Amino acid sequence: MNEGELTGQARTHIAEVADPNCLLHAQTVRPFLNLRRAALEEGIDLKPMSGFRDFERQLTIWNSKWSGARPLYDAAGGKLDAAALAPEERVEAILLWSALPGASRHHWGTDVDLIDGNASAEGYPDKLTREAFAPGGPFARLDEWLEINAPRFGFFRPFRGVRSGVQAEPWHLSFAPIAEKARQALSPAVLQAAILAAPLLGKELVLARLKELHARYVAAIDLP
């Protein structure tokens, strides 16, 4: 991938999938459809909630959380008051659940957030929560199935809450053969160039800590 593709500022690597409707890296489409076909044979309908996400979309998410227009959550899932947080605390709170613009794995088209379209239940309408994937939740079977079967198709869960600074996201799958190359190519310098030109709230603070943030939230993942 080139720098624009790595940071979500270009989509020349992206292909549109009609069924299910989503955008993925062109070389991720076939492995994902094979994974989905295998799941359907077990009565599980892999429904993408998010595939490719561009830089501007990630920037909107970041700025909305910084300003308080979109809710912030702590590591346990409790709501936080953005206005009551110091700038440094705000950065940490956002990064628990959302990536920096330019640093999201969704920019690569290799990563997808999934639910089971056959298992949505009242109280969990298409919600990406750890409770929904835990035993007794509507997506518990999906969680178990992915744990066993996703690696067969080249997918893994990069956020298990072990090495990564990002909280555990059992719904988040990544296609390792391409995503690993992208992770290694997305250096602090590449990320800095993308952020410098963006109207990012808290930009000075982010840039001052960029090497540290890159190490914790980009380089450090739970490897397959």
Q: What is the pLDDT of residues 164-216, one digit of tens each?
A: 888 889 999 999 999 999 999 999 999 999 999 999 999 999 999 999 999 99
CB neighbour list of residue 180: distance below 8 Å, 6 or more residues apart = none
pLDDT digits (tens, 9 = 90+) for 81-116: 888 999 999 999 999 888 999 999 999 999 999 999
Residue boundaries of the structural domains of the chain = 3-219
Return the structure tokens found at 177: 């053969």
Q: Phi and psi at residue 202, in whole multiples of 5°?
A: 80, 20
Is the Cβ–Cβ distance between 159 and 167 less than 8 Å?
yes
Classify domain 3-219 by CATH architecture: 2-Layer Sandwich (3.30)
Cα 179–Cα 185–Cα 186 angle in degrees, nearest 5? 90
- Its pTM stands at 0.92
With pLDDT > 70 as the criterion, what percentage of the chain qualifies? 97
